[in-house]
Amino acid sequence: MNAPASVPDDETARRVGLPPGSRLHETRLASGLTIAAAEVPGARRQRLVAAVGVGYLDEPGDCRGLAHLLEHALFLGSANYPDSGELACWVGERGGRYNARTGETVTDVHLHLPPGDTDEGLTRLVDVLAQPSFNPERIGSEVEVLDAEFQARLADPALHRLVALGRLCREGHPARLCHAGNRKTLGVDRERLVMQLSTFHRQHYRAERMALVMLGPLPLEEQLERLTRHGAMLPAREPTPPVRHWRWSEPGGVAWHPPTAKAGTHSRTTTLELFWPLPEEQASTHADWLASVAARLADGRLAATLQAAIELEQLEVTLAPDGMGTALALRLTPAPDMEAVQAMLVACRSALERALAAPLPTPPSAPLDLDAWPRLRAAELVANQQDTPQPAGATTEPLLPWLAPEQCRLLWQSPTTPHRWATLAETGTAWRSQSPPGESLPLPWRAPPSLAVRPVYPSVDDPPPRPLHRDERFTLWAGDPARLPDAPPASLCLGWPAPASQQAARLAQWRQNTLPLRQVAASHGMRLSCAGDARGDWLIATGTAERLEALVELAVACWPERTAPAPTGPAEGLLAQRMLARLEALPPPGANAAGSRHVLGWASGCADERAAKALIRHLAERLTNMPTEADEPQHEVREGTTWLSPQGSDHAAMLELAGPDDTPRSRWLLQLLAQCHDAAFHHEMRQRRALGYVSAVRYREASGFPRLGYVIQSPGTGADTLRQAILDFLTRQGETLAQLSPAEMTRRRLGLLSHAGRPETHAEATDRLWQSLRRQTASGNASAPWQPLPWEAEEQALAALRCDDLLSLARDLAMGRLATRWWFHRPSGADA
Give the CATH number of the domain where residue 819 resides.
3.30.830.10
In a domain, 674, yes or no: yes
669 and 621 within one domain: no
Q: Where are the beta strands (DSSP E) in 287-381?
A: 314-318, 327-333
With b for 16 or more beta-carbon neighbours within 10 A and e for fewer, the 207-218 pattern comes to bbbbbbbbbbbb
Nearest one of 442, 252, 436, 441 to 350, comparing CA atoms: 442
Q: In what order do the strands lie in the sheet with 97-102?
A: 23-28, 34-39, 210-216, 46-52, 107-113, 97-102
650 and 769 within one domain: yes
**Pseudo-torsion of CA 268, 269, 275, 281, nearest 10°?**
130
691 and 577 within one domain: no
Helix axes of 742-756 and 790-800: crossing angle, nearest 10 degrees: 170
Work out how many domains the chain is built from and give that number.
4
Q: Rounded to whole angstroms, how far apart are CA atoms 577 and 357?
A: 44
pLDDT at position 393 is 54
Q: Rounded to whole angstroms, how far apart are CA atoms 321 and 171?
A: 22
Handedness of CA 385, 389, 394, 396 (dihedral sign): positive
177 and 304 within one domain: no
Where the chain has pLDDT below 70, the residues are 1-7, 239-240, 261-268, 385-394, 457-463, 564-572, 588-596, 625-639, 781-785, 787, 831-832
Nearest one of 22, 29, 20, 21 to 1, comparing CA atoms: 29
189 and 264 within one domain: no
Q: Is 207 helix (H, G, I), strand (E, B) or coil?
A: helix
550 and 407 within one domain: no
**C-alpha separations of 328 from 318, 319, 434 in Å:** 6, 5, 20
In a domain, 1, yes or no: no
| Helices and strands in the chain, H and E counts | 26, 24
Handedness of CA 436, 437, 439, 442 (dihedral sign): negative
In a domain, 380, yes or no: no
In a domain, 455, yes or no: no
| Percent of the chain's residues with pLDDT above 90 | 65
Q: Are 33 and 208 in contact (CB under 8 A)?
A: yes
**C-alpha separations of 589 from 277, 636, 702 in Å:** 51, 4, 10
Q: Which DSSP state fits 310?
A: S
63 and 23 within one domain: yes
HEC profile for 755-824? HHCCCCCHHHHHHHHHHHHHHHHHCCCCCCCCCCCHHHHHHHHHHHCCHHHHHHHHHHHHCCCCCEEEEE
701 and 795 within one domain: yes
State which residues form the domain around 68: 9-231
Q: In what order do the strands lie in the sheet with 422-423?
A: 314-318, 327-333, 271-277, 409-413, 253-257, 430-433, 422-423
Q: Where are the alpha helices (DSSP H) in 459-527?
A: 503-513, 515-523
pTM exceeds 0.75, yes or no: yes
Element (DSSP H or E) covering residue 277: strand 271-277
Q: Are 385 and 248 in contact (CB under 8 A)?
A: no
In a domain, 239, yes or no: no
Q: Considering only the C-alpha atoms of the chain, give the largest distance between any 2 of them, rounded to a whole number of Å.
A: 75
In a domain, 243, yes or no: no
Q: What is the DSSP string of 452-472?
A: --------SS-PPPEEEEESS
Q: Is 415 helix (H, G, I), strand (E, B) or coil?
A: coil
Nearest one of 466, 538, 608 to 778, comparing CA atoms: 538
**C-alpha separations of 395 from 359, 399, 484, 517 in Å:** 14, 9, 40, 33
44 and 160 within one domain: yes
645 and 621 within one domain: no
694 and 613 within one domain: no
Write down which residue in 433, 454, 481 finishes a domain: 433
With a CB cutoff of 8 Å and minimum separation 6, the contacts of 402 are 276, 277, 278, 279, 282
Q: In the chain, helix, strand, coil percent, each to 5?
A: 40, 20, 40
Q: Cα 615 to the chain's mean position, in Å?
A: 33
